[in-house]
Chain A
Amino acid sequence: MILPAEALTDDRVFDVCIAGSGPAGMTLALTLAERGRSVLLLEAGGAEFSANSQDFYSGESTGDPYFDLDVTRLRQLGGSSNHWGGWCRPFDAIDFEPKAYSPEAHWPIARADLDPYLKRARAILDIDGDFADKLLGTGVQRIGFGFSRPVTRFSEKYRETLEISPALLVALDAALVGVATEGGRVTHFRVRDSGRRVHTVSAGRFVLACGGIENSRLLLHFNAETGGRLVPEAATLGRYWMDHPHFTIGEALATSSDFSENREFFALTPKRMRELGVLNCGLRLEPLRRGSGVRKLARDLACAAPRLGEWVYEQSGRQLVCSRVLRAAWEQEPNPDSRITLNTDRRDVLGIPLALLHWQKTTRDIETVRKTAVEFGAHIARAGQGRVRLHDWVLENGPWPENDEIGGHHHMGGTRMSSTPERGIVTPDLRLWGQENMYVAGSSVFPSGGHANPTLTIVQLTLRLADHLS
């Protein structure tokens, strides 16, 4: 049943109360309700987009240029799935594993802990594609992505289920404004409706699933309000915030017979990543948008290698050579100085400080893309499949371009999963270290980000949480 928050009554005790109805919150709510648990799903926004609701997501950012915080996410039923692009790929095993050269880039669980949830997550997200990888040569592999088609909008696909599920109550315009804790247990959420009335919501267990920026903002605020009792070890709260840097890094002249007209994906093998001391980086070869570009590239190549360039130039008329743009999206090194804090000078209408994002990439981030791209270019050359040209900033360690894709709108970290409370905010089971019965879901718990788009992993991780809470 879907109701406005005004309909909430203070006397009912739910098995589980979940704040946030995006891919994490809604997956959890539907799964638990299907298993007979009584669930209250709180959505701070309404059923549809509204500018007023988006205003709560305003904020400022410093450090590396980033998107406006009220544009990069959506505050409405279904959350940011309403503008999701649908790209999917499971994280690689190496993403979870320790790396001596980047000590924070690992998880306290393994990929094998999420694999059992892949099939169900694929069904939830309507993913086609088989994620198949193919080794191309020493150190380089072609990798597979899947796509949600049609892109799963949680509010549309699951609307009817939300309406008819007997165990599930969805409250709209239900803004979480407080968390009460006593003796290491959360006793209730305080929820404000659109008429400014505050309701007390009781449940056996509570879950925060408000997104990769909002989870940090709300926990920082509620922790301050409770005098540090909600998150007693808060040194990492809001820190290690990440996105996947997305940039155009060069072009390629490639043999037409070796590459298709479609977008193709490549990455280094885990062994080669370790040898080079780099994190995970996905490369995309895509057709150039304006014309073939072959002749211009061939002329440029002729400047560097005259005979080779002229030869390719002559071949271009015979369609033996194609041109491609080379793009990359890759893993950002977990960085404690890349973080969400509270801007106490600017508050939303509920009195909660707005988010202040300081996004900061590191030297290793540019080294990762440079070494990966050179390795890929070397593979293409040695295999006789073409030549790759990289942009100056890639080869010269910056400066980062400001007019590019920048990031993937993949908000990760801030409430990272850890094996000890000193190193993170939630346990490997996603429970707040300081509370017996409150959990955090979504990509804010990612300790590191791999290079794959996060939604599939969010849903896998949420299904694992559902097992834990069942």
Chain B
Amino acid sequence: MTYRPTIPAGAPVRLGRRALFRLTAAGLAALSLAALAPAAPAPPVGGGRIVIRDGWVLLEEDLA
């Protein structure tokens, strides 16, 4: 995995496994997702109820 060197200090540059869906709100902001970050929570993990929409196997929380 490679990361852009422009990610500022404090951003989760060592994301490790499952990092994509575990980024914190701060991480999202650091990744220049300011437009989304205030309203978009990190995609959830855990034992949520499964919902199928448009073929996607989603967690119920994905639709919140």
Contact = CB atoms under 8 A, between A and B. Distances in A.
| A: interface residue count bin | 35 or more
A4 interface: no
A304 B47 contact: no
Contacts of A255: 17-21
Contact of B18 (A257, A307, A395): A257
Nearest to A377: B57
A311 B59 contact: no
A383 B17 CA distance: 10
A449 interface: no
Contact of A310 (B3, B40, B41, B45): B40
B2 A385 contact: no
| B: interface residue count bin | 35 or more
Contacts of B15: 257, 320
Contacts of B39: 307
A384 interface: yes
A390 B18 CA distance: 22
A375 to B, nearest CB: 9
Contacts of B36: 307, 310-311, 314
A383 B45 contact: yes
Nearest to B16: A257
Interface string A296-317: 0000110111011011101100
B31 A318 contact: yes
Contacts of B41: 307
Question: 6 tightest A-B contacts by CB?
Answer: A377-B57, A384-B45, A384-B21, A304-B54, A384-B18, A305-B62
Interface of A: 250, 255-258, 300-301, 303-305, 307-308, 310-312, 314-315, 318-321, 373-374, 377-378, 380-392, 395
